[in-house]
């Protein structure tokens, strides 16, 4: 599970606006963090605004957090890989397959482009039907209260 620290900034109905703090666990371990567009954009915003860029997330407040509460923002295991595969992998494979089928049947480059577009549209439909849409029931991000580690002292 990918986790990042955050602080609840404000409440809005059943939702909490959470400000993510610092780099997430993935950012610290990433080999390409020097070329990361997100990090570059954040540093440009920090320089232009003179203050750290705020990353606010609107999350379902299932834990009844209040403004000022320290929380942990959680992303379920495998959800990022699944999203990347559905958004990029499936449409790309279907586009290539569509182009290959159409060009093998007709031998025309225009047919290859048509087949590629049909494959991309098929990939889009698969992505929408798989549940990666704004109205999905299962949350991608969730939050829990931040817990301090337990320490025991001999007495």
The pTM assigned to this predicted structure is 0.52
Instruction: Name the band, by pLDDT with cuts 50, 70 and 90, for residue 134.
Output: very low
Q: Which of 9-18, 43-52, 55-64, 76-85 has the least mean pLDDT?
A: 43-52
* Residues with Cβ within 8 Å of residue 137, at least 6 apart in sequence: 131
Mean pLDDT for the chain?
A: 76
pLDDT digits (tens, 9 = 90+) for 37-61: 555 555 544 555 555 556 788 888 8
CA distance 17 to 151: 31
CA atoms within 13 A on the CB side of 32: 4
pLDDT digits (tens, 9 = 90+) for 140-154: 666 777 765 555 666
CATH code given to domain 2-75: 2.40.50
Three-class SS state of 5:
strand
Domain limits, CATH 2.40.50, in the chain = 2-75
């Amino acid at each position: 599970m990918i986790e990042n620290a955050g602080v609840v900034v404000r409440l809005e109905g059943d939702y909490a606006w959470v400000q993510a703090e610092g780099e997430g666990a993935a950012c610290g371990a990433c080999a390409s963090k020097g070329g990361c567009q997100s990090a570059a954009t954040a540093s440009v915003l920090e320089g232009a605004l003179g203050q750290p860029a705020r990353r606010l997330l609107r999350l379902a407040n299932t834990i009844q957090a209040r403004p000022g509460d320290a929380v942990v923002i959680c992303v379920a295991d495998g959800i990022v890989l699944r999203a990347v595969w559905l958004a990029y992998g499936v449409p790309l494979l279907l586009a290539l397959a569509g182009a290959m089928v159409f060009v093998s049947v007709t031998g025309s480059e225009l047919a290859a482009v048509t087949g590629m577009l049909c494959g991309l549209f098929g990939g889009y439909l698969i992505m929408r039907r798989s549940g990666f849409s704004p109205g999905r029931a299962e949350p991608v991000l969730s939050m829990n209260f931040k817990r301090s580690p337990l320490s025991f002292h001999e007495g």
